[in-house]
Amino acid sequence: MSTEGGLRRRVKGLSEAEFRQRYGTEEACRAALFALRWGKGWACPSCGHGRCAALKGRPLYQCNRCKRQVGLTAGTVFHWTKLPLTTWFLAIYHLTQSKGGMSSIELARRLGTRQPTAWLIKHKLMAAMQVRDAGKPKLEGRVEIDDAYLGGARSGGKRGRGAAGKTPFVAAVETTAERKPRRLRLTVVKGFRQREIETLAKCQFAAGSNIVSDGLSCWTAVAAAGCTHFPMVTGSGAQAAKWVPFTWVNTALGNIKTALAGTYHHVSAKHAQRYLASFAWRFNRRYQLDTLTERLAYACTRTEPHPYRAIIAG
């Protein structure tokens, strides 16, 4: 269930039965992957020839002219995987359909794999989400931003800005003029310092954007990216009480905290950006629940391999 502008809109996901029908066999997954990767036409990476033949029994395609063989998964997130594609598609399904993501223990149970295998699959898929959204245009127009922390003590610990052991990140929501959310970006920062915010703003906000924030002094640095800053100092009185500028940032942050607390006991700082990117990816496609499986599979075919050593490096 999603709420926008006071209207409740039910967004239908993909049922397990529908999923099994589309991606339940290795053959179906291979065909789906081939269509996602080369639907607009296969082209030989060696000679550019447009025709190939599928090799029997293996996910390999051979150029009809120069006989170069190309693996279906080569050069993608699934790069030469030894796992069945059905396992990958099932992982994609579970990670995209569950609102708060899924722990690797739970994912392993659903996939029938060992936990470390499920963990690696999950992180590779989250990397694809991250790469996909990083390639999208900068946020523009009206953008609400806020500072937040991930990890550390969940309750009873130190609260507020600068709490130790937590990963600081910036939440930015592009909204319509009516303050309905469009797109969300969650970015880990070293701290809430002007130089950090300047770098982030240049990378993520289009020049001319109107950045709405609270009174934290670092936000003025968005001016260096050609943005206008509207500091909304939380005041008292009837006006302040009536007007809540950060509704959507706060809603998004609240959802993330709830999901993380419910699903994961600990998110290491090294992997925080990947977790945050996966939440943003899903938020940004909240009205496309029925096509999320193919959207993420498509992103995987357009994302370079992320081997284990790259994943653990963070």
Q: Which residue reads 């130190």 in tokens?
A: 158
Shortest Cβ 269–Zn ion spacing (Å): 46
Q: Which is nearer to Zn ion, 37 or 285 (CB)?
A: 37
Closest CA to 38 of 54, 25, 57: 54
- Residue range at the interface with Zn ion (CB under 5 A); choices 18-26, 39-47, 159-167, 206-214: 39-47
- Opening angle at CA 11, ends 187 and 30, nearest 5: 80
Neighbours of 82 (CB within 10 A): 4
Residue 46 contacts Zn ion per CB under 5 A = yes
Residue 47 contacts Zn ion per CB under 5 A = yes
Q: Which residue reads 């924030």 in tokens?
A: 213
How far apart (Å, rounded) are the C-alpha atoms in residues 85 and 91?
Answer: 10
Q: How far is CA 297 from the centre of its chain?
A: 13
Residue 53 contacts Zn ion per CB under 5 A = no
Residue 68 contacts Zn ion per CB under 5 A = yes
Shortest Cβ 61–Zn ion spacing (Å): 10
Shortest Cβ 293–Zn ion spacing (Å): 32
- Residue range at the interface with Zn ion (CB under 5 A); choices 2-10, 40-48, 96-104, 152-160: 40-48
Quick check: helix, strand or coil at residue 56?
Answer: coil
- Eight-state DSSP code of residue 151: S
Give one word for 160, left, alpha or beta, with left for phi > 0 and alpha for psi -120 to 50.
left
Phi and psi dihedrals of 169, rounded to 5?
Answer: -145, 160
Contact with Zn ion (CB under 5 A): which of 14, 32, 33, 44?
44
Residue 66 contacts Zn ion per CB under 5 A = yes
Q: Which is nearer to Zn ion, 68 or 179 (CB)?
A: 68
Shortest Cβ 41–Zn ion spacing (Å): 14
Shortest Cβ 304–Zn ion spacing (Å): 22
Phi and psi dihedrals of 5, rounded to 5?
Answer: 60, 30
- Residue range at the interface with Zn ion (CB under 5 A); choices 23-31, 56-64, 229-237, 282-290: 56-64
Q: Which is nearer to Zn ion, 68 or 182 (CB)?
A: 68
Closest CA to 91 of 297, 262, 282, 274: 297
Residue 291 contacts Zn ion per CB under 5 A = no
Show the binding pattern over residues 107-126: x = contacts Zn ion (CB under 5 A), - = does not. --------------------
Residue 99 contacts Zn ion per CB under 5 A = no
Residue 63 contacts Zn ion per CB under 5 A = yes
How far apart (Å, rounded) are the C-alpha atoms in residues 276 and 152?
Answer: 15
Neighbours of 43 (CB within 10 A): 15
Q: Which residue reads 């800005």 in tokens?
A: 161
Residue 52 contacts Zn ion per CB under 5 A = no
Q: How far is CA 31 from the centre of its chain?
A: 25
Q: Which is nearer to Zn ion, 61 or 248 (CB)?
A: 61
3-class SS letters over 176-194: CCCCCEEEEEEEECCCCCH
Q: Which is nearer to Zn ion, 61 or 219 (CB)?
A: 61
Q: Which is nearer to Zn ion, 62 or 199 (CB)?
A: 62
Shortest Cβ 70–Zn ion spacing (Å): 9
Positions touching Zn ion (CB under 5 A) are 44, 46-47, 49, 63, 65-66, 68
